[in-house]
Amino acid sequence: MAEQSLLEAIREGLHEEMARDPAVYMLGEDVALGGPFGVTAGLAEAFGTQRVVNTPISEGAVMGLAIGAAAVGLRPVIEIMFIDFITLAMDQLVNHAAKLHYMSGGQLKIPLTVRVQCGISGNMGAQHSQSLEAWLAHVPGLKVVTPSCPADAKGLIKAAIRDDNPVVFIEHRGLYWARGEAAGAGAAVTPIGEAAVLREGEHITIATFGRQVAAALEAAAELAPQGISAEVIDLRSLQPLDMDTLVESVRKTGRLLVVHEAVSEGGIGAEIAMRVQQAAFYDLDGPILRLAAPFSPIPASSALDRFFVPGKAEILRAVRGAFRRQGAGG
Amino acid sequence: MAEQSLLEAIREGLHEEMARDPAVYMLGEDVALGGPFGVTAGLAEAFGTQRVVNTPISEGAVMGLAIGAAAVGLRPVIEIMFIDFITLAMDQLVNHAAKLHYMSGGQLKIPLTVRVQCGISGNMGAQHSQSLEAWLAHVPGLKVVTPSCPADAKGLIKAAIRDDNPVVFIEHRGLYWARGEAAGAGAAVTPIGEAAVLREGEHITIATFGRQVAAALEAAAELAPQGISAEVIDLRSLQPLDMDTLVESVRKTGRLLVVHEAVSEGGIGAEIAMRVQQAAFYDLDGPILRLAAPFSPIPASSALDRFFVPGKAEILRAVRGAFRRQGAGG
Amino acid sequence: MPEAALHRELLARMWLNRAFEEKVSELYASRVITGLLHLAIGQEAVAVGACSHLRTDDWVLGGHRSHGHAVAKGADVKRLMAEIAGRATGYCGGKGGSMHLVAMDAGFVTATGVVGGQIPLALGAAFAAKEGGRQQVAVVFFGDGAGQSGAFHESLNIASLWRLPLVFVCENNGYAEFTPLSAHTLVERLARHAETYGMPAHTLDGNDLLAVHDAMGKAVSQARAGKGPVFVECLTHRMRGHYEGDPAKYRELSQLAEWKEKDPIARFARMIETRSGLTAAEHGAIEADARARIEDAAQFAIASPWPDADEADTQVSAGHG
Amino acid sequence: MPEAALHRELLARMWLNRAFEEKVSELYASRVITGLLHLAIGQEAVAVGACSHLRTDDWVLGGHRSHGHAVAKGADVKRLMAEIAGRATGYCGGKGGSMHLVAMDAGFVTATGVVGGQIPLALGAAFAAKEGGRQQVAVVFFGDGAGQSGAFHESLNIASLWRLPLVFVCENNGYAEFTPLSAHTLVERLARHAETYGMPAHTLDGNDLLAVHDAMGKAVSQARAGKGPVFVECLTHRMRGHYEGDPAKYRELSQLAEWKEKDPIARFARMIETRSGLTAAEHGAIEADARARIEDAAQFAIASPWPDADEADTQVSAGHG
Ligand SMILES: Cc1ncc(C[n+]2csc(CCOP(=O)(O)OP(=O)(O)O)c2C)c(N)n1
Ligand SMILES: Cc1ncc(C[n+]2csc(CCOP(=O)(O)OP(=O)(O)O)c2C)c(N)n1
Ligand SMILES: [Mg+2]
Ligand SMILES: [Mg+2]
């Protein structure tokens, strides 16, 4: 099995799409130099700085530019270096990219990909560590995807670029160098809107995405010999959510734990709880549980920020707690 | 009983706080001329244009200015004319206002009030009608309140201004001219974080806020003679949520319908569902229900936008549906 | 086109704009049209003068006060009127409305209700035009109030840096809502910002149709020739309130009277009476023709069906392309 | 202060900054300090020259590269070092870190990791200072990369319009991350934007401490006197990569060598050898003293406890005040 890092997989996907379609352009701060993490390294050499374009530090205008270009026929991929800075482009993304197809009665299409990097890693503090996917998933007209492994990274970036709608492609910085099976040259597109059941189980469903997928799989492996069989779902697509897969799983297991690195209140977990309990109320054996970062800004200190990253230990605790609680309260 | 409109109540609250504390300043587009709806009319005459300050159309910088001024001792009240335009100030609001107290280890306080107007009214279309409170409630360090009646409007704006944290005070445009009992001169502050039980009931809890409160009360009145006793809760504070009141109510009624004008997915209703089912799972007689705007941008046409405003009829349908479903499925 | 014919054509276009806006106002007063409407009566010379050099496949973008830009770009006035009236036959099926007009068949890419928001979008149209290599240009209309927005400044920089084929048309009507430009900036001429970037920039009398026409002719050729962006600031005046219903108490009546004198249509007509021999009868016919076309558009809109309830939340996402 | 003493004092302050940054770098290399660190080695003359005119109750704000601004404003180097090292004894209890320093006891209001974000915040400090009526001023530091952000432009406008007591200090080091200024704008001197607003604006050699000192002296007096904002653009150079760990391959080695020549500390020392009779021994003592103070700060930080786990999510909201 050929291996690659998630970062390499994204780069490969970008490369293939640029080669495939001359309407694909890259825009972002220092993208022609690879960007701070090297994701776009080599693209300018391959496709020229006409198509791989360094931009000034003007997130709002560059986002607008990409949207306007998409409206008249290009398929731009814009990089916002940290999701924290998407705050500077929210007007363009939310009031324009997401709404122009609708407001124009279908006259305009906005085939735009927004690559953006998120998460806690490297003790960067409150303004370089957020996970803001729930905002974006609350915006009709946007799609939101996030990969947990190289193969999905490549498949989803290709799907995002080929989609005729604005798609926000979220990359977790802590996963860039995580290795996994390579998708391979010209690999298939991963359809947007489909979750992946990575491990089947009987007693509880763990739904998560991004960096927490690995933690969930590890936890599930550790729980199995103890008689708790956990099903692990990688959501992959946060807007739209694959409710069919989720609900089917919870119907079977009767329990759900949602895990994310975004702060607890108002995260993706909340929406999942609303819809799963609506669809599978009578199949639930206990409350839907949420494991997430504390509702707080993220501290810079390495002594503190780790409490904001749900990992294997926290998942184990939450799952075990669920079964204990059942004994007591249920 | 003296009556006043919600708009007048806000104005009275602003007036009293400006009179009470010379550190209170108003900033916003045309605020010294009353703004487009007249909320701040008369304040410049009373307190001077030194303290009631018209600003350029620079939402981002004006938000930053207000935050910086708050950090060194003023208590600014900034008006963002439509919540749709808060997208232009999200960096300052989220990365700075909400985090500076925390990031400074408590050295800074940000006693900032952000007045912002929202909702569907007047067929203004997709960029002047949104309800984006769920974004703000997802941000640790921000408080979010919204009144449904004049007395709360005055009480909450005063509470917001006196609070040492950034508070977003959301005004529903469709309620500006709604009349109700006046709070009266110098009336009490309405504490942030406390919901109001406006009608007691036994069979279902309807939790809502802003414009949908009146619809919920009307629906409850219509349901009562039909043997369905609905408890109506006006959340008032969306961050923090008054979970005690909500959970206590649901423990009693066994059912919950959340109603909001924001689009369905990822709205406040989702967070409420997550937390109520966690706290009162074994008391629930049926799934928590959500009534909200369709997950779509808001159309301009008067023939379409009304389908985006949950009203009495929709609430009646949802409540009746809940009890029908119980008969069938539960 | 010989000059005399051109003059008559331009006059006709201004009348079409004026008639359109006056009809919108009338239909608003009678509640046939609802919503938040910003009319550009008094500013017609800018829209008409600017668009007179554009091909159908050139891109135009506008803002909250952009009915006239769409009309001048050649959009179908029936479908525009129907859109503003919220009807199913409107360009956007009633979903867009007054502030969000789109008429792609005429190259009117979009208007936006967010002050300044159209400027970055226009960079994108210009970027695509440049890459397309077919000598297309983009033109963006915005007001003086937008000149204090970050979007405006970030866009001037990028347009100049990348030599985009974009013409910035600032309609400086001296007011943002209820406050004069002097309350918003010390910079009296927004063109000065463009100069800082080395961009050719002109400030001119925007109520003088030929002045706009001439300046835009040069600007569009420069952009079309790949020589980069141009900034054209048109000093003008809206003869109505900020929005329909605004009593505009903040303006001095004398000021309004003075500007009525400068009404771009009457002024242009006076000028071409001598220069191109326009007769009163001809002028009357031109106006009447415009009003008739607009009356048709109004009747079309009024007779059009409302959008179906189940259209309310369709077209949120595009299907696969 | 007599000139000779002033010169020695300024030299000492530059050394304190240099020693601080070099120590941070050392502790980063040994993994005592982690995080995203942007050092200002080579830019000390700006921080020191600018802050030398400030009272403790004047406000300073900075960005991602602002250790030196806090040091120069007189913040306690121990608590700064501890903060950067993530310790409980740091100014922010470890919650802020390198990019979000706050030292209110010294009037250092805040740094921010969002490029350009500090500029609007500084408007607010200046607004409050003006209203307070105690002749306070605000000073904001930012880079050339921030000069293309909307926040920067919106802020220039407001500061000039409202005559805020604010000094804009642009540290133009010619690079934003890995790309030169020429890739970001055609405007070589950011001070030109300030001129458009009628703001007094100067571009000077930011590695010449006395040039900065003099210009800032005038700028601060003007602001303090209520005459409005001033813009001071300091051309300088960072002698390190964009962040610690950046190999800075994008820069030509010759360029770096040339700037080493211009090292603001060595240069100032050479100058005051003649002008104020600084001896090699004195200079050595000044440097040694700075290094000793910083070594103390480092030891303090290293010996300090880590913040308690239960501090992680406290101070999200302020209690009632
Ligand atoms: C970002 C934003 N802020 C505020 C508003 C409210 N608003 C609508 S029009 C307007 C004034 C615009 O002035 P100008 O750009 O000069 O255009 P004009 O109305 O004069 O044509 C304002 C403040 C808005 N639509 N968008
Ligand atoms: C809004 C925003 N966009 C991007 C970044 C990433 N970033 C950090 S520093 C930097 C370059 C800043 O350049 P400049 O303002 O010249 O400051 P310098 O690093 O040269 O001191 C960038 C792009 C950021 N922190 N904030
Ligand atoms: Mg105007
Ligand atoms: Mg720089």
What domains sit in chain A, N to C, each tagged with a CATH number?
Answer: 3-181 (3.40.50.970), 196-326 (3.40.50.920)
The whole-number average pLDDT for the span A95-105 is 98
Closest approach of A33 to chain D, Cα-based (Å): 8
Shortest-distance Cα residue to atom 18 of ligand 1:
C143
Q: Indicate the length of chain B as a whole number.
A: 330
pLDDT grade, residue B175 (50/70/90)?
A: very high
> What is the nearest CA distance from A134 to chain C, expressed in angstroms?
18
Answer whether D144's CB lies under 8 Å from D174's CB.
yes
Q: Answer whether residue A327 shows pLDDT above 60.
A: no
Pocket residue to mutate for ligand 1, from C65, C115, C185, most atoms within 8 A of Cβ: C115
**Long-range pairs for B188-192: beta carbons < 8 A, 24 or more residues apart:** B188/B155, B189/B155, B189/B158, B189/B159, B189/B162, B190/B147, B190/B151, B190/B152, B190/B154, B190/B155, B190/B156, B190/B158, B190/B159, B190/B236, B191/B159, B192/B143, B192/B145, B192/B156, B192/B159, B192/B160, B192/B163, B192/B167, B192/B237, B192/B240
**A168, pLDDT greater than 80:** yes
**Average pLDDT estimate for B309-314:** 98
Which residue, among D232, D140, D148, D142, has the nearest Cα to D182 in the 3D structure? Answer: D148
Burial of C150 (0-12, 13-18, 19+ CB in 10 A): buried
Q: What is the mean pLDDT of residues B70-83?
A: 98
Angle among Cα A27, A32, A34 to the nearest 5 degrees reads: 105
Q: What's the token pair of residue B211?
A: 């414009």
Is A261 catalytic? The answer is: no
C28/chain B closest Cα distance in angstroms: 12
Q: Pick the residue whose CA is nearest to atom 8 on ligand 1.
A: C115
**Residue closest to C148 by CA, chosen among B108, B15, B29:** B29
Q: Which chains touch A (3 or more CB pairs under 8 A)?
A: B, C, D
CB of D177 within 6 A of ligand 2: the answer is: yes
Residue D219's nearest CA partner among D146, D149, D164, D143 is: D164
| B37 CA → ligand 1 middle, Å | 15
Query: Which residue among B135, B269, B296 sits closest to A140, beta carbon to beta carbon?
Result: B296
Decide if B325 contacts B285 (C-beta within 8 A): no
- Would you call C233 helix, strand, or coil by DSSP? strand
Q: Which candidate, A280, A232, A278, places its Cα nearest to that of A258?
A: A232
* Whether residue C70 has pLDDT greater than 50: yes
pLDDT of B330 reads 35
Which two three-digit tokens encode residue C286? 């031109």
Q: Does D316 fall in a domain? A: no
Supply the ipTM of this predicted assembly. Answer: 0.98
Contact state of D102 with B104 under an 8 Å Cβ cutoff: yes
Ligand 4 centroid from CA D112, angstroms:
15
How far is ligand 1, taken at its centre, from the CA of residue C115, in Å?
Answer: 5
C15 CA to centre of ligand 3 in angstroms = 22
Distance D117 CA to ligand 4 centre (A): 15
The pLDDT, as a whole number, for residue D321 is 40
DSSP-assigned beta bridge partners for residue C203: C233
Count CB-CB contacts under 10 A for residue B324. 10
Q: How far is the CA of B66 from the centre of ligand 3 (A)?
A: 25
Residue type, A74: L
Low-confidence ranges of chain D (pLDDT < 50): 321
Residue D122: both structure tokens together: 């500084």
| B214-241 confidence digits (pLDDT tens) | 999 999 999 999 999 999 999 999 999 9
DSSP letter, residue A96: I
Is ligand 2 within 6 A of the CB of residue D115? Answer: yes
Cβ–Cβ under 8 Å, residues B132 and B193: no
**pLDDT mean over A29-54:** 97
Residue B11 has a pLDDT of 98
Q: How far is CA A158 from the centre of its chain?
A: 14
Average pLDDT rounded to a whole number, residues A11-28: 98
- With 90 as the cut, is the pLDDT of residue A184 above it? no
Provide the number of CB pairs (under 8 Å) joining chain A to chain B. Answer: 138
The fraction of chain A above a pLDDT of 90, given in percent, is: 96
Catalytically annotated residue among B8, B12, B29, B59: B59
**Catalytic residue of the set A59, A79, A133, A171:** A59
Question: Can you say whether the dihedral through the CA atoms of B116, B118, B121, B122 is positive or negative?
Answer: positive
The enclosing domain of D190 has a CATH number of: 3.40.50.970
Q: Does B128 qualify as catalytic in the annotation?
A: yes
What would the pLDDT profile of A107-166 be if each residue is shown by its tens digit?
999 999 999 999 999 999 999 999 999 999 999 999 999 999 999 999 999 999 999 999
Segment A52-66 mean pLDDT: 98
Q: What does the block give as tokens for D24?
A: 């941070």
Under an 8 Å CB criterion, which residues of D touch B?
A: 59, 61, 90-96, 100, 102-104, 109-110, 112, 114, 117, 119-129, 131-132, 150-151, 154-155, 157-158, 161, 315-321
pLDDT at A330: 35
Give the closest-approach CA distance of B177 to chain C in angstroms: 17
Q: Is C314 a member of any domain?
A: no
User: Helix, strand or coil for residue A24?
Assistant: strand
Read off φ and ψ for residue D168, nearest 5 degrees: -85, 120
How many domains is chain C partitioned into structurally?
Answer: 1
CB pair distance less than 8 Å for D127 and B63: no
A188 lines ligand 2 (CB under 6 A): no
Answer yes or no: is C313 within a domain. Answer: no
Question: Which residue among C149, C177, C259 is best mutated to probe the pocket of ligand 1, counting the most ligand atoms within 8 A of its Cβ?
Answer: C177
Asked if A204 and A231 touch (Cβ cutoff 8 Å), the reply is yes
How far apart CA D50 and CA D246 sit, in angstroms, is 28
Mind listing the pLDDT tens digit for each residue in C85-102? Answer: 999 999 999 999 999 999
C-alpha C130, offset from chain centre: 23
- What is the pLDDT at residue C199? 98
Ligand 1 in contact with C173 (CB < 6 A)?
yes
Percent with pLDDT over 90 in chain B: 96
Q: Which of C149, C162, C187 to mutate to test the interface with D (most CBs of D within 10 A)?
A: C187
pLDDT tens, residue by residue, C259-276:
788 899 999 999 999 999
Taking CA atoms only, the protein residue closest to ligand 2 atom 22 is: D177
> How many C-beta neighbours within 10 Å does residue A188 have?
12
User: For residue C242, which atom of ligand 1 is closest to its CA?
Assistant: 19
Average pLDDT on A68-94 reads 98
Q: Is any atom of ligand 1 closer than 6 Å to the C-beta of C100? A: no
The predicted structure's pLDDT at residue A325: 66
Q: Does A48 touch chain C (CB under 8 A)?
A: no
Of B98, B126, B135, nearest to A102 by CB-CB distance is B126
Neighbours of chain D (3+ CB pairs under 8 A): A, B, C
Nearest CA to ligand 1 atom 9: C177
Q: What pLDDT is attached to residue B326?
A: 56
Q: Provide the residue range defining the domain that includes D166.
A: 3-304
**Per-residue model confidence as pLDDT tens digits over C7-54:** 999 999 999 999 999 999 999 999 999 999 999 999 999 999 999 999
Answer whether residue D309 is part of any domain.
Answer: no
Please name which of C112, C125, C132, C9 lies closest in space to residue C63, comparing C-alpha atoms.
C112
Tens of pLDDT, residues C188-206: 999 999 999 999 999 999 9
- The DSSP 8-state label assigned to residue A285 in this structure reads S
Q: Is the pLDDT of residue C222 over 60?
A: yes
Query: What pLDDT shows up at residue A183?
Result: 86
Q: Is the CB of A81 under 6 A from ligand 2?
A: yes
**Percent above pLDDT 70 for chain A:** 98
Task: Give me chain D's average pLDDT, please.
Answer: 96
